[in-house]
A and B are shown apart, each in its own frame.
Chain A
Amino acid sequence: MGLILDGVLQAFRLLLAGDPEVWRITLLSLRISASATLLALAVGIPAGTLLALARFPGRALVISLVNTGMGLPPVVVGLFVTIVLWRNGLLGALELLYTPTAMVLAQLVIAAPIVTGLTLAAVQQIPDRFRLQLLALGASRVQMTWVLIKEARLPMLAALMAGFGGVISEVGASMMVGGNIKGSTRVLTTATVLETGKGNFDVAIALSVILLAITFLVNWALTWIQQRRRV
């Protein structure tokens, strides 16, 4: 127990003393995971809405695939993205492996199915009658879709939170495609693994506390946006 307390105190000390390395790691974690989540929204909201509204053969199969994708193991994503980005790999010419961009890419693959799946659920829970009523009132298809997306915005915030939570906490893919390079691709989760390996348990706990605090603050802000109109 003493060790955990030491770690919590160490977390405050590192942040308040403005330890440049810890700040850099923290900001990089945020930047990578926020970029990946935003890209996942750009992909997932249109895809989820389309899946909810369109009817086409094989739709059930596609939805099953998306739902499976919501539970993709990050380490599997990391392995495949690594192989694709290898110098000898499909996208080797881009020389992206061991860069923050590669980490954004891997996290996008993890977050996109989560956002798609939850958007699909959010749009689908709007009663069919509402949709028919919109069309009856003379809305075009584009107008109707826009109203439906707006109607589903609160559950979609949950998609945002789940996507961000999934990628900021992920270590397997970041370690593999990023390489945990100091000053370049070292983020909170990979730094925690490294410090544990070095036997610096207090620093590892401090990094974990910072990670938890960030995740809490982001979710707290989003929950506030989500809930304030409800009361």
Chain B
Amino acid sequence: MRPFSLFLLLAMSAPAALPAPATAQSSTVILSTTTSTQDSGLLEVLVPMFEKQSGLSVKTISVGTGQALALAARGEADVTLAHAPALEKKFVEDGKMLNRRLVMYNDFVIIGPEDDPARIKGTAKALDALKKLAATGARFVSRGDKSGTHALELALWKQAGIEPAAPWYIESGQGMGATLGIANDRRAYTITDRATFLAFQKRIALPILVEKDRPLLNIYSVMEVNPANGPRVNAAGGKAFADWMLTPEVQGVIRTFGVDKYGQALFVPIAGKKDEDF
């Protein structure tokens, strides 16, 4: 009988077992951002630094760029770090986001099977490479998830005047890591940011075929959330984080991030630059 009474007792006392309530939320900043900044490990270095210096606590919500901006537009976040310039500018024009400032960039690369059936290796222009892919009907895996990477890929197809379609065009609907796995399995081409590619390099047999073309530049910006978007936006906290990202100290950390693990930096800091500079 005893264990049973014990379990009833536990059931009755359950509310006492609840985790402690959250700390005061006025000192909390919600950062909505993309999966690539988290998967690369950069935010796990920067966020604790900011928390220590500012005394604020940061909740990092890593989702696709589309969702990160959508959450911010609903007032569910205080500051956004994203990488889809065209989409970001639209949110700024609509008054949902304020004070968009460039933080850093890295680049995208087009990867594909070793034997390269579409013969794109060494093509200087990313658009020419995509035209060859479409012409030969070589399999291509798209993120298909409204992420910043997906937005860039769609923009490239549009510029190339191609409407990608099944059966050669496969939409994974998943993050970059999972998409690389699918591309590897299906021996397909795909576009990936260089940071994720480096993290997965050992596990996939898809070499870089096209790189270093201007349209493949991957620019990250920080934006503050318009307090008019919702009743509880922490505008001051959001601005504090955005300003902090552009300080020389943080830009220095970004400049060397990844060197120890990959032998090369994953991002290039560009505080103070404008879109027109690229």
Contacts and interface: CB of A to CB of B under 8 A. Distances in A.
Interface string B1-41: 10110011011111101110110010000100001001101
A179 B59 CA distance: 8
Contacts, number: 96
A59 to B, nearest CB: 24
B25 A95 contact: yes
Contact of B3 (A95, A96, A201, A225): A225
Nearest to B60: A181
A182 interface: yes
Interface string A103-135: 010000000000000000000000000000000
Contacts of B11: 38, 41-42, 45
B75 A153 contact: no
B178 interface: yes
A181 B17 CA distance: 21
Given A87-B231, A88-B76, A198-B41, A35 B14 contact: yes
B10 A38 contact: yes
B35 A104 contact: no
A57 interface: no
A95 to B, nearest CB: 4
B20 to A, nearest CB: 8
A74 interface: no
B124 to A, nearest CB: 29
Nearest to B61: A179
A160 interface: yes
A88 B7 contact: no
Contacts of B177: 196-199
Interface of B: 1, 3-4, 7-8, 10-15, 17-19, 21-22, 25, 30, 35, 38-39, 41, 44, 47, 59-62, 74-76, 175-178, 196, 199-200, 203, 230-233
A225 B14 CA distance: 20
A196 to B, nearest CB: 7
Q: Which of A98, A157, A180, A201 has the most CB of B within 10 A?
A: A98
A101 interface: yes
B19 A104 contact: yes
Contacts of B76: 86-88, 97
A42 B230 CA distance: 36
Interface in A129-185: 150, 153, 157, 160, 179-182, 184
B74 A86 contact: yes
Given A87-B232, A98-B30, A197-B175, A39 B203 contact: no
B232 A92 contact: yes
Given A35-B14, A38-B11, A87-B232, 19 more contacts: A38-B13, A41-B14, A42-B11, A45-B11, A86-B74, A86-B76, A87-B75, A87-B76, A87-B230, A88-B75, A92-B232, A97-B76, A150-B1, A184-B59, A194-B38, A194-B39, A197-B177, A199-B196, A225-B3
Given A88-B76, A150-B4, A199 B203 contact: yes
Contacts of A45: 8, 11
Interface string A176-214: 000111101000000000101111010000000000000
A219 interface: no
A24 B22 CA distance: 17
Contacts of B13: 38
